[in-house]
């Protein structure tokens, strides 16, 4: 992961956040599951597994992060569990239970947030709201891969809900983060929390990617 260097020390907090996650973002984009989404080749079963992981993560965020955020920044649109549940139902639900390693990682991530300040928790929100920028690129190839229409209720609400407002809303969120964190000692903690959030997502994406390679190896061996 790119670590914040001294040249970012005096930069805006949102610039520090972006620099902190940049390396991990590039690395996630290179994982098999991310590439399969971008290329429109992801299998429904694999995508359902990914949604299940996102549901577990957002459930923690909704119980432990959103209620603790500064009131002026928290927004109902940050709650993503309803969209994830709709998508899972529309796509036929998850068939395989999540692996114990991922369950444990998400639980440990949740516990690690308990000692963070409300301002440091903005690091989680920065990553999850920022990932909506990626959703703008992903929803079309995903619709192709899943053979569904990119329309509300078809199974892509997690990516598409509020998508028209994403760039403006994310820019506004970064301005709010800058205003809230500037001149406080919390920017470094928020960057550390953002880094941990991204590292967790990298681990989850990696574990799903490993399943994909196992499955292709098994298929190749069976042929």
Residues that bind ligand HEM (CB under 6 A): 18, 21, 25, 28-29, 34, 37-38, 127-128, 130-131, 133-134, 137-138, 198, 201
Pick the closer one to ligand HEM by CB: 91 or 124: 124
Nearest distance from residue 185's CB to ligand HEM, in Å? Answer: 22
Nearest distance from residue 81's CB to ligand HEM, in Å? Answer: 15
Nearest distance from residue 126's CB to ligand HEM, in Å? Answer: 6
Residue nearest to ligand HEM (CB): 130
DSSP string, the chain: -PPP-GGGTTS-HHHHHHHHHHHHHHHHHTSHHHHHHHHT---HHHHHHHHHHHHHHHHHIIIIIGGGS-TTT--GGG--HHHHHHHHHHTT---SPPPHHHHHHHHHHHHHTTTS-TTTTHHHHHHHHHHHHHHHHHHHHHHHHHT--SSTTSS-HHHHTTGGGHHHHHHHHHHHHHHHHTTSTTHHHHHHHHHHHHHHHHHHHHHHHHHHHHHHHHHHHH-
Nearest distance from residue 71's CB to ligand HEM, in Å? Answer: 23
Nearest distance from residue 160's CB to ligand HEM, in Å? Answer: 15
Distance CA 75, CA 148 (A): 30
Pick the closer one to ligand HEM by CB: 91 or 128: 128
Pick the closer one to ligand HEM by CB: 37 or 180: 37
Distance CA 77, CA 139 (A): 18
Pick the closer one to ligand HEM by CB: 29 or 215: 29
Pick the closer one to ligand HEM by CB: 91 or 138: 138
Pick the closer one to ligand HEM by CB: 130 or 155: 130
Nearest distance from residue 137's CB to ligand HEM, in Å? Answer: 5
């Amino acid at each position: 992961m790119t670590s914040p260097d001294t040249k970012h020390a005096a930069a805006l907090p949102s610039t520090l956040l972006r620099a902190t996650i940049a390396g991990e973002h590039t690395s996630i984009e290179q994982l098999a599951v991310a590439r399969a989404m971008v290329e429109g080749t992801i299998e429904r079963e694999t995508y359902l597994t990914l949604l299940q992981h996102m549901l577990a993560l957002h459930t923690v965020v909704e119980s432990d992060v959103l209620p603790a955020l500064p009131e002026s920044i928290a927004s109902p649109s940050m709650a993503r569990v309803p969209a994830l549940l709709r998508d899972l139902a529309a796509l036929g639900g998850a068939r395989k239970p999540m692996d114990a390693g991922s369950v444990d990682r998400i639980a440990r991530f949740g516990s690690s947030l308990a000692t963070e300040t409300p301002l440091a928790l903005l690091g989680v929100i920065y990553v999850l709201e920022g990932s909506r920028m990626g959703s703008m690129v992903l929803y079309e190839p995903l619709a192709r891969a899943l053979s569904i229409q990119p329309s509300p209720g078809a199974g892509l609400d997690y990516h598409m809900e509020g998508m028209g407002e994403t760039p403006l809303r994310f820019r506004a969120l970064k301005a709010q983060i800058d205003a809230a964190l500037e001149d406080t000692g919390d920017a470094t903690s928020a960057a550390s929390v953002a880094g941990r959030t991204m590292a967790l997502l990298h681990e989850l994406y990696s574990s799903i990617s490993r399943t994909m390679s196992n499955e292709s190896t098994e298929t190749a061996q069976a042929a």
